[in-house]
Amino acid sequence: MSDEEIENLDLKQKVEAENKLKEFVVDYVGDKVQPESGEVTVEMIVGVFASDFPEFLLAVAEENWIRGYKQAFHDMEAHDKQIAEEADTQKNEDE
């Protein structure tokens, strides 16, 4: 499956102005993008943040990447430990 075939449906989600920050962001993005439907989506917000406030988006992306990288190492260590335990169990059964 190519990257082009993967679609994040969360990006298409309409954003409701549930609090003052969301209201500000939805209004700002709506004024800037002027969607035909009048609905502002997460994807539109990400696009506007990328152009108007890239340092914020970059910080979030970097933090997400670091957490994912740490989780991958944790998962690899847990997998290695499980394999070693299974090998020990098999060795003890063979004796």
The average pLDDT across 58-84 equals: 90
- Return the pLDDT at 89: 81
Q: What is the DSSP string of 46-62?
A: HHHHHHH-HHHHHHHHH
- Return the pLDDT at 42: 94
Of all residues in the chain, the percent with pLDDT exceeding 90 is 56
Residue predicted with more confidence, 3 or 14: 14
14: closest CA among 41, 53, 34?
A: 41
pTM, 2 dp? 0.66
